[in-house]
Chains A and B, each alone.
Chain A
Amino acid sequence: MKVLNKNKIDAVLNRLAEQSEVFVPMQRGPQSGFFAWKSFENKTDKLALDVLNVYLPPKNVVLPQTEKMYSFQQEGVEVKIEKVYEDPNPKIIFGIRGCDAQGIACLDQAFLTRGYEDGFYKARREATTIIANACYAPGPNCFCTSMGGNPAEVPTADVLLRDAGEQGYVWESQTAKGQAATEKIADLLEDKQVTLPSAKPVTRTVNYEGVAEKLKGMFEHPIWAKYSEPCQTCGICTYSCPTCYCFDIQVKNWGEEGYRFRCYDSCMYREYTLMAGGHNPREATVERFRNRFLHKLQFFNERYGTPLCTGCGRCMVVCPAGVSIVQIINEIKEAELDA
């Protein structure tokens, strides 16, 4: 087996960072998320490879919170598009967990299939190498196995790291991209046999089977009014979710120059579907709440064959009103529908 000794992690990251932008899970002051390794500062930051996961998911590497699209010049009646900002610089996401990797696989479905390939996403994604960190100790809110995930195996990863404690990380390349990354740091790996830890089981499970089908008849069900009542439509769930991808397109200009950019948006906000004449198909909280859960559990599945939830549990941890997707799925399973 190829093994990465834990005291060589810094060296590996530095080596990889010579030619790519490397993103690692970090505790940065009071926050945690995937930040650029080049921006690591001992005073405020700490690598979070040993922690279950971080609060801000790594989707920002392939779909940034704010992304410049193209700049333009307008002089009188003349208009010119100056530059299109597709970013093909190589990137590496190091230490991503299975649930988040599956999230990126969902984003791939949304942005690269069905008639159009999103140029900005494509450029970033094709340049991104995923080095995943297998998960052997799920948390109390993790339910990834119920949503089609396997914490100890990450089939979509280019390289899979397995944490064998003091013995180091087993480094396993799974794709051609992974092989290319491995070759860059081959001299920092050792050849030895290690024993892998036994994976602790996922304690939280939910029965998702048949839910997508059953939801087709539950649009008017009272379950939505009941669970949406405490919801404040604050949007924290959409920002911490590894699969939420809805975006807004806006413009910034000064004088005769400007640029168009896209930024995260949330289906929980009233303005999300507000039309210019004032008509709003989802004016009330319950309508937006229902749309979000149906998108996660039914619509995305109908369209792309996989649910838009990977069971990472973040939304249940951060929701101030205590909304729990697990409770909702359980109640959907048990709901009685009129014949």
Chain B
Amino acid sequence: MKEITNQIQSIAQRLLESGQVELFMAWEKGDFDYQSKPYFARTVEESKKIVFDKYSIHNLSNALLKYRDGHEKIGIVVKGCDSRGIVRLLEDKQFQRDRLYIVGVCCPGMKDPLQAMRDNSGFNPQPESTELANKCAQCIQPNPVIYDELLGTEQPAHLQGERFGRVNAIENMPVDERYRFFADVLSKCIRCYACRQACVACNCRSCVFDETKPQWVGRETSVGDNMMYHLVRASHMAGRCIECGECERVCPVNIPLMLLNQKLIKDVDKFYGPYEAGMKYEEGAKPPLSRYKEDDPDDFI
């Protein structure tokens, strides 16, 4: 990883010095060595703080949304999941390809700095850190799908166990049990909207949950309102979620959000597929639920 850090630093320096980019997004170390966090370098001097290590989990493509209305050229380091996030932005027309210089890194699997921070904070009675972050144990695409330069050696998928294993287990539950499971899990939601903010596919300028005329979902943390929030958000993700897992990672009350998203990924693939979101950038490509074809299946309606 030290080698990749050096390679990224020299790329950043080259791009910033030549003026090819005005801003280079990568990671830097935080206060502890189990904390890497997003970093925005603008000068050669600043680029010397860039690191790439096993805690560089944060999905930087989400940060591009801050600059979507600007014109500056931006260099960005992406892993597999992050690069799918960039394809998401390009497909949604939220960013232009020619503004980006993408440095792809084949990802060896990350550890979660938030888990490590929690374990070391004194707030966790039992440690929760896993060798591989939860989201990485579901990963099917560790290698970047879009890049201008590629670093590292190609990695096999880090998926542990069966893909959609958790989803299948819930599908096999009887309906009552399934409802109780979700009512229980979603009633804990504190409606902080961190999942929405961390999500790269949640890029609407005016979010449905902030509308007042009409107000689609109330702001109470009742089971009803919470369920509506999560189900509506998951439905808006259907066919668009790139499975980066940031939503579940940042949730302060540990709601298993990826269950809902993965169920919809499985269904979209089954009914409108084969389809995996954000795997390849093609001009004019649209997610399956954003286009209409005569032979779209409709027997489940």
Contact = CB atoms under 8 A, between A and B. Distances in A.
A269 interface: yes
Nearest to A320: B250
B121 A230 contact: no
B190 interface: yes
B194 interface: yes
Contact of B35 (A27, A250, A322, A326): A322
Contact of A139 (B36, B66, B123): B123
B220 A318 contact: no
Contact of B192 (A48, A139, A234, A313): A234
Contacts of A32: 123
Given A229-B40, A322-B35, A51 B197 contact: no
B125 interface: yes
Contacts of B191: 65, 263-264
Contacts of A313: 121
B10 interface: no
B39 A263 contact: no
B220 A322 contact: no
Interface in A246-296: 248, 250, 252, 261, 263-264, 266, 269-271, 285
Interface string B189-200: 011111001100
B120 interface: yes
A55 B252 contact: yes
Interface in A188-219: none
Nearest to B29: A322
B219 interface: yes
Contacts of B219: 66, 248, 250, 263
A246 B277 CA distance: 38
Point out which of B36, B118, B124, B253 has the most chain A C-beta atoms below 10 A from its C-beta.
Answer: B253
Interface centre among B66, B192, B249, B253 (most CB of A within 10 A): B192
A233 B197 contact: yes
B197 A232 contact: yes
A7 interface: no
B188 to A, nearest CB: 6
B254 A232 contact: no
A239 to B, nearest CB: 4
A50 interface: yes
Interface in A1-58: 27, 29-32, 46, 48, 50-56
| Size class of the A contact interface (CB-based, 8 Å) | 35 or more
A111 to B, nearest CB: 20
Given A140-B121, A318-B114, A320-B250, A234 B197 contact: yes
A139 B122 contact: yes
A318 B253 CA distance: 11
B254 A324 contact: no
B292 interface: no
A175 interface: no
B37 A322 contact: yes
B181 to A, nearest CB: 12
Interface string B30-69: 1110011111100000000000000000100011001000
Q: Rank and list the top 6 A-B pairs by shortest CB-CB distance, nearest first.
A: A322-B37, A139-B122, A52-B122, A30-B254, A234-B197, A234-B194
9 contacts: A53-B122, A55-B252, A232-B63, A234-B194, A234-B250, A236-B192, A238-B192, A263-B221, A269-B210
Interface of B: 30-32, 35-40, 58, 62-63, 66, 113-114, 117-118, 120-125, 188, 190-194, 197-198, 210, 215, 218-222, 246, 249-250, 252-254
